[in-house]
Structure 1
């Protein structure tokens, strides 16, 4: 491939992509890129379900219950480091390269996990699997938002991110079958469970190969001819599918192309140019990570300890709970585009925090038994799941395109490192007391952390619904194109974007 030539160009690629009607191409994007969340849900739930089996004599892996906890922590560390490492590569090298590389890493590590022969090898495989999944978050969310039309970006993002819970439900259902010693030997069933994740990953890879590179990334990095070719191909396929001629695009964008943007410059933008948005994303990610990881990693133990649910039945409750989590983004998702991001994200965070209060009381007083507890738990996470998905959407769409993947990676990594580790440790310790009062206090702490996310959205949230990504945050390369003369500079310092929109210093609220 020839080296890209850079200069100052004016393009309509963003407007052309945002005006497209929903089509088979967009379904291919959803299926090819959205599968990562199903894989993550499958992985996390699978380990939780096979944990007890791995510690049994004859499992083929001499590992203790404490080491299972270490493996979970190593997976999270891998995901955080993988997000940061692959996130900055995604902004530098392109979306497609990274969403293929990270999926291959996941596949290799998952297959290797099925052949684990000792704890250290199992730990290594879990770290690499987490690194692949963490890298996927940055590459996938940035690519999705740059390919999906602005008018439906919110609901599509929420449903894709919420599909994590389909993977969780599948992992629990699969465990019921594969862990049955009547069907599979004790040292084989858990290995097949990890192998199933690899099979699903291969299917996703086959679809993903046909998803193009982001045209937005291409034209900024000196490959406008390739960007033009991809967009023209998408337009022609949609016109053939719909039998109509697409209307002309309205706005254009002028950018000074660059083949590479230094990591330091990318990082500085988030915290010097957009400090309010950075604080918002930190609050959203820490809040959802604390609540979700705290409950998810300990729900089975909580049900068995305080409600006497047998180990064999725990997956059934997790399936029901996981499906209710998926229902939240599916049912509420379109309101994030119609009613708006700020009111809906605020509702999701503060609403779930509010419902957690009677949940804690029902748990503490034992009123209504398991039925009342599960109903309130389902309602809490029906709301919280939409908020958690919206955290990824927020980080993806409110920073300049050149920093998008790294922004997702950074806030995911920090949020998971803070809330995702503190939550499980706190709830695990409180459940370990065997007393209801400490656990009820844990629910209240989780409600308080979620409330902080809701308040941050209320005061710092961005009205992003229906907005072009370039209007939400001007690309760095577009700012460079301002004030030039002859080859694209404007002597009066007017914006390089034809059609207006806030610059980096104007944070929409």
Structure 2
């Protein structure tokens, strides 16, 4: 299924088999830190902006502060779509260096803002950089990390968003303290935290190789082999033993160029409609729930429990820690218990716990502390499930489309989820009537439970399997003609479509 009419050259490759057999090493830790830190930066950014220390300096009212978040979101969507396609065409490394640079520029210049329009512009730019990171980096991580560890690593990295959010809450409490910094200075300094951290990442990323899997399918087979050779040398230098490669796992691929949009549409809607349905469902459901709770938790605490704004931020730190803990603790189970079971369990449990809290909230049984505990318990599971959404979308589509499909599904989820804060803000009102928000919580619970059921029925069994076994590349020669593994089959079976 080549997107070009000319006869492309073909070659036999053991790159996927060689990458997946590697033991865990310092090289893989470099990948985790160098590429995974992006989510910490995103969480940091969102929380610093949410603290709105800039509002008084720039003369912005509540609506304008909310608009700043909208511009950041739109920037993420644009960045994901734009950089995602380039990452599939030009390579992962080129784009994860460019996208980080765009983020650093946008965030730093936003800290120099003198008017709302200027702030919106550079928040959009910063969001574009982060959106590009989501597409290019998830692809690179899953293509480099061995299959045995892919699930837990991807989920843990995506979950570190909440570590960044907690860091942002702490940083805001320091930089927005007028006893330490002038009101017009502190918020500006806080916007430089991310760029300062990012500068160190640029240096580290320069030493991260291009994805050998991407090179393998783009006519750079010699570079791919040399890249794997170098990785193996690094690991042997640590004194680790590398198992012999199984020659029977070699695959034949043909060079592939730009993939037309018509081919992408056929892959998504004709060959893998079930997988497309699962990917979109996961992104939409987790985005809706997270945006609904994350952006309105302070309003709930303040309007229903008379919690002072300063104290509300302390509750948020506990909420962020609960999310981070869930991703770190449960991630390993996605590799041992399997994707379907864990996706079903995390989504459904998160929804059920939220549903219980909804009834207790309506009866007035909860206070600020106990309500936050329920949120922490629900999102302990939801965090792992939400992080697994990016893992799932990255695994279940062909390598040549990986970044693009992530960007498409991510954008759909972000745009749908963007409606949640406005909806739940209206349901909260002035805090005198609990019924509207109760039904909002019921809706959020049902959305998550439905997402879990869909994942349990239509999800793909990908734990411990090579990416090429889960989904054959478009450039695969023999297997592409015979067929690929269906969604519910074991490794070794073959069929082209869902």
TM range (shorter): over 0.9
Corresponding residue to 1:339 among 330, 337, 340: 337
1:431 lines up with 2:428 in the alignment: yes
Following superposition, the deviation at residue 173 of structure 1 comes to 0.5
For 1:490, the equivalent position in structure 2 comes to none
Name the SS of the counterpart of 1:10 in structure 2.
strand
- Per-residue CA deviations over 1:307-345 (Å, capped at 9, x if unaligned) read 122122222111111011000011111110001100101
Q: Distance in 1 between matches of 2:192 and 2:463?
A: 40
1:64 lines up with 2:61 in the alignment: yes
- Per-residue CA deviations over 1:54-96 (Å, capped at 9, x if unaligned) read 333xx2x121111011111111111112111111111111100
Q: Distance in 2 between matches of 1:103 and 1:494?
A: 38
1:86 lines up with 2:83 in the alignment: yes
- 8 Å CA contact 1:88–1:263 kept in 2: the answer is no
For 2:185, the equivalent position in structure 1 comes to 188
- 8 Å CA contact 2:292–2:424 kept in 1: the answer is yes
Q: Distance in 2 between matches of 1:445 and 1:243?
A: 51
Flag the 1:111–1:406 CA change in 2: closer, same or farther, 3 A.
same
Flag the 1:454–1:180 CA change in 2: closer, same or farther, 3 A.
same
Following superposition, the deviation at residue 189 of structure 1 comes to 0.7
- Per-residue CA deviations over 1:429-461 (Å, capped at 9, x if unaligned) read 112242222111111111111122111101100
Corresponding residue to 1:468 among 466, 469, 478: 466
Q: TM-score under structure 2 normalisation?
A: 0.94
Q: Distance in 2 between matches of 1:470 and 1:316?
A: 45
Q: TM-score under structure 1 normalisation?
A: 0.92
For 2:222, the equivalent position in structure 1 comes to 225
Q: Distance in 2 between matches of 1:152 and 1:33?
A: 16
Corresponding residue to 1:206 among 181, 185, 203: 203
Flag the 1:141–1:367 CA change in 2: closer, same or farther, 3 A.
same
- Per-residue CA deviations over 1:451-477 (Å, capped at 9, x if unaligned) read 221111011000100110001111001
Flag the 1:17–1:364 CA change in 2: closer, same or farther, 3 A.
same
Question: Where in structure 2 are there 5+ consecutive unaligned residues?
Answer: 1-6, 485-489
- 8 Å CA contact 1:277–1:460 kept in 2: the answer is yes
For 1:356, the equivalent position in structure 2 comes to 354
1:239 lines up with 2:245 in the alignment: no
For 2:134, the equivalent position in structure 1 comes to 137
Q: Distance in 1 between matches of 2:496 and 2:424?
A: 41
- 8 Å CA contact 1:75–1:126 kept in 2: the answer is yes
For 1:488, the equivalent position in structure 2 comes to none
Following superposition, the deviation at residue 479 of structure 1 comes to 4.3
Flag the 1:115–1:482 CA change in 2: closer, same or farther, 3 A.
closer
For 1:258, the equivalent position in structure 2 comes to 256
Q: Distance in 2 between matches of 1:482 and 1:68?
A: 51
Flag the 1:494–1:326 CA change in 2: closer, same or farther, 3 A.
closer
- 8 Å CA contact 1:473–1:504 kept in 2: the answer is no
- 8 Å CA contact 2:12–2:251 kept in 1: the answer is yes
Alpha-carbon RMSD across the aligned residues, in angstroms, is 1.9
Worse-matched range after superposition: 458-467 or 423-432: 423-432
Corresponding residue to 1:399 among 397, 400, 424: 397
For 1:290, the equivalent position in structure 2 comes to 288
